[in-house]
Amino acid sequence: MAGATSGSLLVLLLLVVLAIAEMGMAQNSAQDYVDPHNAARSDVGVGPVTWDDTVAAYAQAYAEQRRGDCALQHSNSGGRYGENIFKGGAGADWTAAQAVALWVKEKQWYDHGSNTCSAPAGKSCGHYTQVVWRSSTAIGCARVVCDNGGGVFITCNYSPPGNIIGQSPY
């Protein structure tokens, strides 16, 4: 009986570990990027974005380039896509929702009435305005854990691109 009990406990422990691993993966699915984008967009009366596999392939290819150094550096899509990037420090399992939440947090500095940003030095509103840019209707995002122990790099690309100077996002 004791052997059966310890065997059962081992199986149960294995199932718990697998469930936790799956939850971590699930926190970075396409829907985990789309949902917080659409919540922010809904808050200002903008229609939803959808996941686009072509845009996601671009995001994934760029994230793979950053895997080695985790440099907070934008890609150069030649004007094809808008882009938000995020770097989360080592020691935390940064998720899609956390990255998008940080971009959306910039709303506090954006004044829609005057289409201006009053962010303090070192901050901006551009991530937020790209998230809610009315004509950006497709997104693709990617996340990599950096090889250099530098944390996590997350990128989202937007089609068509937003943040057009002189235009309001919504």
Sheet hosting strand 50-51, strand order edge to edge: 50-51, 138-145, 152-159, 82-88
Hey, where are the domains in the chain? 29-159
**CATH number of the domain at 29-159, please?**
3.40.33.10
Strand partners, 169: none
What per-residue confidence (pLDDT) applies to 26? Answer: 56
What's residue 71's pLDDT? 95
pLDDT tens digits, residue range 109-127?
A: 999 999 999 999 999 999 9
**Mean pLDDT score across all residues of the chain:** 88
Is the pLDDT at 84 greater than 80, yes or no? yes
Structure-block tokens of residue 170? 């919504």
pTM (2 decimals)? 0.84
Closest-CA residue to 85 (of 106, 67, 99, 64): 99
Q: Tokens for 38?
A: 């659409």
**Interval 40-79: pLDDT, tens:** 999 999 999 999 999 999 999 999 999 999 999 999 999 9
